[in-house]
């Protein structure tokens, strides 16, 4: 079965960089990469595509990452979907709140491409 990874960030640059960092998964493991520019768009894709892994930025317009995470984990009860919160350096409070609303892990931005790829490979069990 094809695995799906959703990247959610309002910064287009980050979306492109994350997609590039995860290119190997797409090419070697046929993982489908999905992208969303805000929380609302992300929720639509999550309901339709049921991704295995979500990289979720915290600070976004319309609906922030924490709200999306809460809806996915608590309202939609999608416990199998692994959520990695992306927080800017220094947002310690966000990390705690993110974990409290059900996020599985967090990563700080600027992110390390190798770390992102390694974590995704591990979560998707592609080792």
Smallest distance, another protein to C-beta of residue 112, A:
7
Smallest distance, another protein to C-beta of residue 17, A:
5
Token digits of residue 8: 């959610």
> Is the peptide bond between 100 and the residue preceding it cis, with omega within 30 degrees of 0?
no
Question: Which residue among 45, 99, 113, 124 contacts another protein (CB under 8 A)?
Answer: 113
Smallest distance, another protein to C-beta of residue 100, A:
28
| 37-42-47 Cα angle (round to 5) | 160
Nearer to another protein, 27 or 75 (CB): 27
Smallest distance, another protein to C-beta of residue 124, A:
20
Site for another protein in 3-62 (CB under 8 A): 13, 16-17, 19-21, 27
Pairing state of beta strands 105-109 and 53-57? unpaired
H or E stretch at 61: none
- Helices 12-21, 113-123: axis angle to 10 degrees equals 60
Q: How many residues does the chain have?
A: 127
Does 117 sit near another protein (CB under 8 A)? no
Does 102 sit near another protein (CB under 8 A)? no
| Interacting residues toward another protein by CB under 8 A | 13, 16-17, 19-21, 27, 110, 112-113
């Amino acid at each position: 079965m094809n695995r799906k990874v959703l990247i959610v960030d309002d910064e287009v640059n980050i979306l492109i960089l994350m997609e590039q960092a995860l290119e190997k998964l797409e090419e070697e493991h046929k993982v489908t990469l999905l992208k969303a520019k805000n929380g609302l768009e992300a929720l639509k894709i999550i309901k339709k595509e049921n991704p295995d892994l979500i990289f979720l930025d915290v600070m976004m317009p319309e609906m922030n990452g924490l709200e999306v995470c809460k809806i996915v984990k608590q309202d939609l009860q999608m416990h199998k979907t692994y959520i990695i919160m992306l927080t800017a350096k220094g947002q310690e409070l966000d990390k705690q709140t993110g974990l409290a609303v059900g996020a599985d892990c967090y990563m700080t931005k600027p992110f390390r491409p190798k770390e992102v790829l390694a974590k995704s490979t591990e979560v998707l069990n592609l080792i």
